[in-house]
Each structure stands twice: as C-alpha cells, then as structure tokens.
Structure 1
C-alpha cells in the first residue's frame, strides 16, 4: 500500500503539533500501541473509514449489522471550525472496511457508507452501510459513564510510531482523567497515543469478558506519532462519550427505512395519478414527488426524455408503485408500473421503470431509468414476448432481503402460458438478472389455468414473497382464489423457493372456497420477531378476500369481505392466526359487516420496530373497506386498523371521513375511502383519489391517529394546488410510497 497522502492531511497534521490548538476538532490519524495479529478477531467490530480518494482516513465501530459509529469530524467540511455534518449521503464516496485486522486480508467486509445521521452535541455520527455485514458481531454500547482512573482500550487504523499508513489495526490503553456530559479526557499509558486516522475509533471497557463501547476517539496531542514533531510528548486527548446514546442509536438503527429519493436524510413522498392527462393524452398517468424539507416538487411522466416509453392515452403510468434502494447507494429508487402500455401490436402489454434516486433527486444521476419490458434486457424478461393483455406491472413489490439483496417483484397477471390465456406470472428481479415465477415452475403450488391471474397481487418483506391468483378456480368454484408463498433463497432453477400454497379448501385455512371470493386479491407481509428469536426472521401474512360472504346475526351478507392472517416461520411452515371482518353490531370489533362492503380490497402492514421483539403495538395492519356505506351514503368507504397480533377487537381503530382522525369533511358517495392505503414506520398514508376534491388528495396520518387510545396529531395533506403541487389532477392519491 502506498504511504502517500494528499497535502490536505499533512496540513491538518501540522495544525495538531503543539499548544492548545492540538485539541481542535481535526481528525487524529493510528494508535501507537501494538499491531493486532492478523488472526485476532476479538476486535472485529473495529472499522477503517476512507473518505473520498483518501482525502481523510478515520476509524469506526460496528454497532449494528448495517451501522457504524464514528466521528463527525471525519465528514465535516472544516472540522477545525465546525463539526456540523449534513444528514444524508456523504458528500464524497466513503468506504468502510470492517472485521479485518490486516487490511490486505479478505476477512470481514467492505461496504460503502451511504447515509450519515449526525449528533449536534458531540463529535459523533451514525453511518449506514450499503448492505448488512454478516459474520461480524456488533459491539454493544456501555450503559455507564467513564470514571476517573478507569482504563479503556482504543483500537484504530491510523498512524503508528513508525508507519504513515499501517496495514494492521493497532490498540492502546488509555486512562480516563475526567468526564463531562458529552466528552472525557484521557491519557495514553506507556507512551501510547492516538494518531492521525484513529479518530472515531472505539474506546472499550471489558466486563466479565464482554466488550462495551464507552467512547470514540476525537482529538489528540499525538505525542510519539509518526510525522509529529519529536518535541511533542503529550499522549492525552479528548474522546466523545457514547455510553448515553443507546436510545438514540436504537431509534435510528431500529427504524424502518424512509423514502429518500435525494438522499438528504429527509423523507420524501411519491404520489401516483395514473388517470392524469399528460400532454392532452387522457389517462396517460404521472407521478408527483414531494421532496422533504421544503426542497420542492417534481412531476414524472413518460413525456420526460429520461423515462422509458412515451405518454399515450390510457397507459396508466403509476397504476402501481413501489420503492427500494436497488443500487444500494443511499438514494431511494422508485419502481413504476405502466400496465396499459402498448408495445408494437401488443395492446396493454405493460412495462415497468425503475427510476433511480440521486442527490439532485430522481433522474439526476448518471443512471436515470432501468426499463423492464418483455423481449428486452436479460433473463426471463428478455426471453418472454409482449402480448396483448399481459398487464406487466399491474402489481409491484420491492425491498431488501434478510441477506441484504435488493429485489423487485413484477406482477404480470394477463400473461398467457401453455395455451392458457391470462394464467399469469411474476418476475423476480435481483442480483443483476430476473426469473419468471408461475404455476408451471418447480414446486409452485396450483396449476396453470386460463384466467387465474397469477401475479394480480404481490407482497414481499425481507423474509418472504407472496403472489396471489385471485381468479384461480378451486375445485370448480370460479374466482375462489389462491396464493403461493416463497422464500428469497433461490432453488435449483435459480428461482425463489416455493414454500406452500393457500386456499380456503385447505383444512388449515378457515372458511371454504366459494365462487367469487377472490381469496388473495390483496396481500400484505410484515417481518415478525417472536420472543426468543434474535431477529425478525418470520413474517405475518395478511390475505384479503373481498368477495367473501359472511353470515352475520343469522343473515348472509354477500361480498362483505374478510381478511385472514397467518404466521410464516423461518423454516417455511405456517399457521393461521386470525380471521378479521367488520363483525356484528354487538361484538367488540368496530363496524358491522354489510353486503357489498368488500372488506379487504386493499391491505398494508408494517412492523414499526423490526429489530425488537414484536408486540401488539408494533405489528399493524390496515384494511381498506372502499365500498362501505356510511349511513345513507353509498360507497363512502373506510379504513379499519388492527394489530397483526392478539385479539382483533382488543385495539382496532375505525377511520372514516370527518371522524376526527385526520380525514376532513363528511363521507361522500363514491369517495371509496380505503382504496389507497400504505403504512410507513411512522404514518398511514390514506389516498382519496375519488374525492372530496376534484383532483384527489393524500393524507399522512401519524401512527397515533390510527392507534386506539392515543391522541390525534396534526395530519399532513398533499393535494394538487397546495404545497407547491400543480393544481391539475384526476386521481391524485391513487397510490403513495
């Protein structure tokens, strides 16, 4: 490895030579203590951090499989003047090497740092990695402050006594002199000092053989470090305390990933209007973006030169949308389905676009759009042929698997297979290619039949994938419906591994398959961590059956609808948990089942604390009831929120227009509230594409508003003509992510 460093670091080192200025917040660079042997993994949690093209080198520590703690001064523009660091993607490409005591080895992992979450009160920043680190155990934060006389061990990758750029991790012992609210002063023992490159390195105490992270290296006199004036003999310094930051770290590392198209650390929102007129073309469709933090809005349609296809009447761009950081650069990417796109002579063949996020927003980076259409690209999509009525992109799901692999699931419910028209399939896109999944593939339950519509609904989380065929005939009952569940692990055909199928003629599923049930018309999955499990490696699956008839107080209610929930284990087995419906007027579940409600037409689920053991409070399900009549108002619609765990009526919450939960106005005929719903970790987004305004609207309801017994908080309203959005719209709020 070259020992050359840019002049900038040399200048910083010079500023640290002597006097009080030595304690300014400039990155110090390697511990002068002994090198850690190549085979030693006891400090595998330590990380080397390289900012830019070796503009700066620091150290860090793994505190979560996806997060490091390091010094904010590593990223500050001028750390001698200010430690302020913008949240979001680092200004320069930054790489972390974790779990490698010898940097020339192959152990541990190398990851990009793609997001910074700084502290304002000390030299500390949380740094998110591009993907999880496996095989290296994160270190736990200490719970007690450093005390005078206590000895802590610092590990770092900076200079040593004799080397400018050592290839090994070094360690040294420091004695605590004193501590205040956010820092502590320390003195290196036996001539040990922190050097340039050790900034951000972990200072650890060991209790009963278990390491605890107490502080991070921040500032040092660097006595004895290579390149420092020999007259500087002081080995003291200042460290940033982290023993009191466990709650802050947990709130960041344990949160659901927010949509952030411009990677600035502030949540953004994409709102689809697939019925919108674009350039005079009715129902061409568009998606509007609202960038958080007052950074403006954007309109995306196929009339933009960087978006695949071109706006045409009835394309319905935005009929389905999903989000994922597919290229793992810290910027959220937007997946948009255009199921009515004509391709050559194939009417309504459909296509999908993955619009890439960048610091300037969607479409501003080097890669702007990855277009998926049959007979192009690679894999199964390339090998297939666009045909009339395929409807590619009618349903979408996206995310990152537990193994850290980003994926897309693209429903193509109109695909004809083996002479069976509209049998349907889905495409699973990951690892640079894609594969087809349908009922004529290895182990996939069900059989290819005309009009099954396999792929009409899809859902996925980090553990599992669910694909619905709501028009499947079950034992002669047309449109009874079924679904298949898969893991992300690829089988011998390099496709997601099928685990099981579900339909209502199974003894393990309540009810019975009946014509018109449409079991699987809506699906939702949320990761689940049971008590005793180290991770959320299971899932809770919700299945909507909007055509289900229920007998209520002795009277049959046709197409009132129901939802069934299932626990899916890590080994791929399942058990049914609950059957949900609006119930009767006398039970403890809100509402009353009525004919034609279509309870379960839409579903959305979330685990608000995916790293913690799951509880009734953290596992939430929202059910759309878009054809609910409220009083004499037909199809006014409602949203019914449940816990995915526990008794259905214990804490359910009913939401309708004008009831004080945040949807304004009075219920209106044909507004169909509940036709558009989506949970994030902090809000329930409820779209009203059919009213009360002529353009549609979207309401972001804080979680407290949809939780029984909690106070109502202010609601964020997105509506054409407000907040910088253009005044035009047709069905704004049809979908939101």
Structure 2
C-alpha cells in the first residue's frame, strides 16, 4: 500500500489475508528488487493503480473486463488483520483507479472511479466496477488451471520498492510457486523480489494468463520494513477458477440502489396524493431493500426543489440513472403539471441524487425548468400547457455517458400549439429536439404532441408524436429515432422516422391509431457481434383497429404493438406485430374493441452481453381497456418474447390468475396502465383500484414468462409494510 503509514510487522503466515499483501496486519505490496516497466511496454497494461480515499490506502489491481477490476479484498477491508469481510456496494471511501499507465506521471490509459464492490467470501478477492468502460486497454485473460508447484510466475504492482515509498512506475518481479491450496498458493520471490505495501491485488500471471493476485508478503527488503526481515515469501489469491463468477457479475444488469448497499430499492410515484393540505400535489415513496425502511419524498422537503402545491402531480413520471457516476442510483422525477410563474402546467424535472443514506443524502438536486439553468432549457420559455416531464427516460450510452430524455408534448413551436418537443440532457448541458430541429423527420404541426413518449437504450433514443396527422389522418402518429452520437449542433444524430404509411411497416396510417403513444427500446447483441450493438424498438399503437379474424369487422381501439430491429449502422427492418389472439392462432387473449393494447410498454434484456434470444429478450404490454368476465376496463398485461413468433412464447396476466396479482378483475382497475420490466421482476402498478389508495404488485420474473416456476409475489400499498396510510394513485409510476 502506497501511503504515509509505517507498516506493522508480522511473521509470514500469521493471517492468510491479513492485509493487502502483507503477511503482516496491513495491506502490502510493491516489488522490491523488481524491474520498472518502460512506459512503452504494454505487456502489463491491464494493471491498475487503486487509491482509496485521500491516499488512505493504495493497492494494485487488474482489468478483467472493460468495466471491472479484480483486486484484493484487503484493500477495502476495515482491518485486514482482523477480517477480510467487505460489504458489497459502493466503497465506503471515494476510490479511484488508473488503468494502462505504466508511468503514473503520464497521460496514457484511463482514469476511472470505483463505484461498486462485489466481494468473494472464500479468498482475498473482490470485483470492483468502474464508472465507465475502459477502451484501448485489453483486459487480462484468466488461466484455466491452477499454478503448479515449482512454476515461475510474473507479478506486477505499484507498491513500494527498496528505496521509494510511493513510486510512480509499475514494477514486475518473479515468484516461484512453493505450494498450492484450493483458493491460494504459497510463493517466494526470486532474486530478492518481494511484494511490498501497495502491490496487494496486483496481477500474477503465467504464460501471459492471470492465475492470481498478490495477497500477503513477508516484505523482505521493502522500504520501511526492519532490515532483519529478509524473507520474500508470500501468498497469492488464486483466480484461475473465477471466470464463471466474473462473467456472471460483469454481465448482470444494474439494479436500482439509492443507498449503495447492493440491495435493490424501489421508487413508487403517487402523483395524486395529498401533501399537507395540498390535494394532488403528489409524492414518491421509496422502499429500501433488505428491510432498511421506507422514505417519503415531497416537494416540501428542503432538499427537493419547489414546494408542494395542489395540482403539481409530483412523481407522475420516474426514471433512474447514476447521473453523477458515484455508484448510487439517482432518481429523475417530474411534476409535469407544476405551474411556473403564471404558466399553468408548464412542468419541471429534478434529478435527486442517491447517497449513503438514500435519496437526498448525495449532492444537491439538479433542477430543470424552462427559462432557467443553461442550454436549450434556459433558452426556452415556460408556457401554459407545456407539461415538461410528461415522459421521461434515462440511461447510459454504450461508452458509459449518462443521459436523460425529457418529453414536453405541450410545447408550442411558434404559433403551433402543442407541437411538442423534448430535451436531451447530458453532462452539464442540454439540447432541444423537435420537428423543427435538424433532420428530425416530419414537420412541426399543432397538436402533434411530439414528446408524449420517450425511450432509450445504450445505442439509440426514440421520441413519439402520437398526435401527428399522417396523410390527412388525425392522430395517426409517428416517431423519430436518434443515436447518442452528437452532431455539429450538439444534438443526437437522427437515424430514422417511422409511421404506418412507411412501406416497411405493416398496415397503414389511420385516424386515431396513436402510433407512438408508448415506446420501449432495448439493446441486444446480434449473432456475430461482440457487443450489444443493435436494438429492438417496440411501438405502441393503442388506437389501432384490428379484426379478430380475416374478413371480420374491425374492432376499434383494439390496439397493436409493432417491433422494429435497428441495426448498429442505423438502418432498420420491421419485424412483426404483437397483439391479442383470435380463434385461429396461438396467442393469448382475444382481439376486442377498446382493449388499448400497447398503451404501456416495458422491454428488458436479461443477458445483454450474450447473443440475443427468445429467452433473454422480453416485453410486457399493457392492455388497460381489457374487459374480463363482463367487467369493464379490468385490464391485463401480456408478455411476449421480442424474438420469434408472437404466440410461441407469450403469457397472459390478469388479477387472480395465480401469477401474483391478487383478487379478481375489477371494473376500472386498468391493470396494464403502469408496468416496469426488469431481469428480476415485473412491476405492475394498479393506481386505479381495487384499493382506494392504489397498489404496486411485484411479480418475480419467472411468474411473468411462460415455463417459469412461480414464486410468491409482493404487494406494496399505503398503510402496509411501513408505508404511510395516505395515498391516491400509488403505483402510477415505478422504478
């Protein structure tokens, strides 16, 4: 460890993981008598220098994935001499990493923040997630067999040397393997080389492949160690058997984690709730995972911008992203009916930052209100009916850059009332996107409502204009697709425009289709690609009229969902439609008037690093107008695979059918109004009933797909589980 603390001494073997590289009680490691690595030598470019806190502790590490390092648990343990136990989640002190820089005074390689720790419990090893992927540095490849006794291994690190307390150069040395155990190996430094403080977690390689990490050392010859200590013996933590574990952790999708404890949290909007005496002011409830309690967020809290007022509808739309890249999930929340000055229902949006104690314990909130701040938002004027934040999406690009997309469907463009627009927020700035900017398809017209829906993934964003008239057909609808690549004007690059008069898309534009009323985008890895370069776009058209059988009468407002494959280069192909069944197919449900299929959509890729398949790419489709057993607007949710025929892998979900929605179908319940699909759960909000306050039902993923073994579902509602009893439309939004 490169720090200003003198090491305590202990005999070799005193504690197996007594510290980052010391058989003493402190983190250790730096190569004494080793060889400095030339700046141009990239053999060990995957080696990283870790700094914990304000240089409280220093260690070495190795890049094993574009987003992940392997290093010693003892680097993060509170007292490695006592225990190597490290809590999962955000490190308790700010931690940085420099990767691919043999000479730390140089500029090559990358500098990143460590934002998550995933510990092993059986050895001195943790995975450390970086805030952004590293490019230009090839990760180390793991060995597939344990090192053999007598073998020579190369080790590298940034720790002390014989003469320098905190060297700037990467050093290497050679170990001879003395013995091999299940999770470790005993080694001795060759030719006087020893791991010193700061080398802990550094790579140990054989034949160019990673077999272990430096863990403990007698530190013979290391600066600051008693001159009578001459032993160069040590212990390495084996990693040759960890490839499946690394792949599992690195390939998992991020969870919502407002307090950084690696346990999933939930944010639930109730935009019609009363706050104090202000009716329909709105609020957000947070349920912390692991039984860590609940929180209520309103605009009357001193860390939330604005103040609670009747009709604000705070919490009507939610999105999540780690916007400041500190490891804590941040909540994007809108109050789209907020009055701004004299502008009624102008709306605004906030990013509420997570922290050690959850939302509100991080940095001050970022507030987005037209006419304030900077960028296009500052240049815009809040006007009555803008409804800024009537739709929200957030995420990170393939390069790891956070972004937020804010729909403003009531925005007037010149004299065109409700033409609509959106704001793309990234870094410290933002830009407007509407049908009068750049190459955005379509012409701005009154009542287009561009921005009614927004969606995005690491590759693309999509913005819907369901009110757009196509070929004279009012409210036929269209949409725009853009990539995250910014053009010369600072705006995302337009990829395509789509409507149902496009020759690629089945059907034709008709009045009232509302094509683009709901959108979902999910990235996936096509066959032959190394990463998730492509996307599938799902387009809801809940006003679409369909016939249940060939030649039968059209059922008005039955609803439809269309799937589009967007390729890495921006070209696209229509796939097929998803809708309810008829008497001659294998789809669940029955096409009926007023079902509103596609009113809400949520898509998920359960294994984004694997080649996409029917098993990994799923979508939940809301049909809130579904009548069941003579009950009007009971609602239902229909899940499909995004690959393969519509009926081959679908599941119908309604209240009381055993999948996890309790009770029985009720009039006006409108199940399918609020849905959010993740690789772990299907969140089904029921803000309209049957409970007077609204409720949220959390169905484990196997409950929501065919062939899964159902597990107990969880219901959240006001007055239960520590949640305050008051509420109105609880479950209207969820993340």
For normalisation by structure 2, the TM-score amounts to 0.97
Deviation at 1:25, TM superposition (A): 5.7
1:543-582 to 2 correspondences below 5 Å: 543-553=539-549, 554-582=552-580
1:568-587 CA deviation, whole Å, 9 max, x = no partner? Answer: 11111100112110021331
Deviation at 1:19, TM superposition (A): 7.5
1:637-648 to 2 correspondences below 5 Å: 637-648=635-646
Deviation at 1:73, TM superposition (A): 0.4
Identify which of 493, 496, 515 aligns with 2:492: 496
Answer yes or no: is 1:385 the counterpart of 2:386.
no
Structure 1 CA distance for aligned equivalents of residues 206 and 690 of structure 2: 61
Of 727-736 and 516-525, deviating more is 727-736
Deviation at 1:535, TM superposition (A): 0.7
- Secondary structure in structure 2 of the residue aligned to 1:73: helix
1:438 is matched with: 434
Answer yes or no: is 1:15 the counterpart of 2:9.
yes
1:61 is matched with: 62
Answer yes or no: is 1:689 the counterpart of 2:687.
yes
> For the structure 1 residues 99 and 4, does the alpha-carbon distance in structure 2 shift closer, same or farther, using more than 3 Å as the test?
closer
Identify which of 610, 613, 620 aligns with 1:612: 610
1:732 is matched with: 730
> For the structure 1 residues 252 and 18, does the alpha-carbon distance in structure 2 shift closer, same or farther, using more than 3 Å as the test?
closer
Kindly indicate whether the alpha-carbon contact (under 8 Å) linking 2:469 and 2:477 is maintained by their aligned counterparts in 1: yes
1:543-579 CA deviation, whole Å, 9 max, x = no partner? Answer: 0000001112123111100001111111111001121
Of 622-631 and 85-94, deviating more is 85-94
Identify which of 720, 723, 733 aligns with 2:721: 723
Structure 1 CA distance for aligned equivalents of residues 709 and 245 of structure 2: 24
2:469 is matched with: 473
1:234-253 CA deviation, whole Å, 9 max, x = no partner? Answer: 22211111122222212211
Identify which of 406, 413, 419 aligns with 1:410: 406
Kindly indicate whether the alpha-carbon contact (under 8 Å) linking 2:11 and 2:23 is maintained by their aligned counterparts in 1: no
Answer yes or no: is 1:328 the counterpart of 2:329.
no
- Secondary structure in structure 1 of the residue aligned to 2:376: helix
Deviation at 1:105, TM superposition (A): 0.5
Structure 2 CA distance for aligned equivalents of residues 382 and 577 of structure 1: 40
List alignment gaps of at least 5 residues for structure 1: none
1:203-222 CA deviation, whole Å, 9 max, x = no partner? Answer: 1122xxxx322111110111
1:149 is matched with: 150
Structure 2 CA distance for aligned equivalents of residues 4 and 735 of structure 1: 48
Answer yes or no: is 1:528 the counterpart of 2:520.
no
1:80-95 to 2 correspondences below 5 Å: 80-95=81-96
1:253 is matched with: 250
2:285 is matched with: 288
Structure 2 CA distance for aligned equivalents of residues 726 and 192 of structure 1: 63
Kindly indicate whether the alpha-carbon contact (under 8 Å) linking 2:90 and 2:261 is maintained by their aligned counterparts in 1: yes
- Secondary structure in structure 1 of the residue aligned to 2:192: coil
Answer yes or no: is 1:306 the counterpart of 2:303.
yes
2:26 is matched with: 26
Deviation at 1:18, TM superposition (A): 6.4
Structure 2 CA distance for aligned equivalents of residues 674 and 616 of structure 1: 22
2:352 is matched with: 355
1:243 is matched with: 240
- Secondary structure in structure 2 of the residue aligned to 1:704: helix
Identify which of 265, 269, 279 aligns with 2:266: 269
- Secondary structure in structure 2 of the residue aligned to 1:23: coil
Answer yes or no: is 1:100 the counterpart of 2:88.
no
> For the structure 1 residues 106 and 695, does the alpha-carbon distance in structure 2 shift closer, same or farther, using more than 3 Å as the test?
same
- Secondary structure in structure 1 of the residue aligned to 2:291: coil
Structure 1 CA distance for aligned equivalents of residues 203 and 176 of structure 2: 14
Deviation at 1:70, TM superposition (A): 0.6
Kindly indicate whether the alpha-carbon contact (under 8 Å) linking 1:147 and 1:176 is maintained by their aligned counterparts in 2: yes
Kindly indicate whether the alpha-carbon contact (under 8 Å) linking 1:17 and 1:232 is maintained by their aligned counterparts in 2: no
Structure 2 CA distance for aligned equivalents of residues 588 and 145 of structure 1: 52
Deviation at 1:42, TM superposition (A): 1.7
Identify which of 503, 506, 509 aligns with 2:502: 506
- Secondary structure in structure 2 of the residue aligned to 1:14: coil
- Secondary structure in structure 2 of the residue aligned to 1:382: helix
Kindly indicate whether the alpha-carbon contact (under 8 Å) linking 2:8 and 2:26 is maintained by their aligned counterparts in 1: no
1:227 is matched with: 224
Of 171-180 and 659-668, deviating more is 171-180
Deviation at 1:706, TM superposition (A): 1.1
1:248-280 CA deviation, whole Å, 9 max, x = no partner? Answer: 212211111111111121111100000111112
Structure 2 CA distance for aligned equivalents of residues 188 and 615 of structure 1: 49
Structure 1 CA distance for aligned equivalents of residues 13 and 571 of structure 2: 66
Structure 1 CA distance for aligned equivalents of residues 397 and 11 of structure 2: 48
Kindly indicate whether the alpha-carbon contact (under 8 Å) linking 1:17 and 1:229 is maintained by their aligned counterparts in 2: no
1:185 is matched with: 186
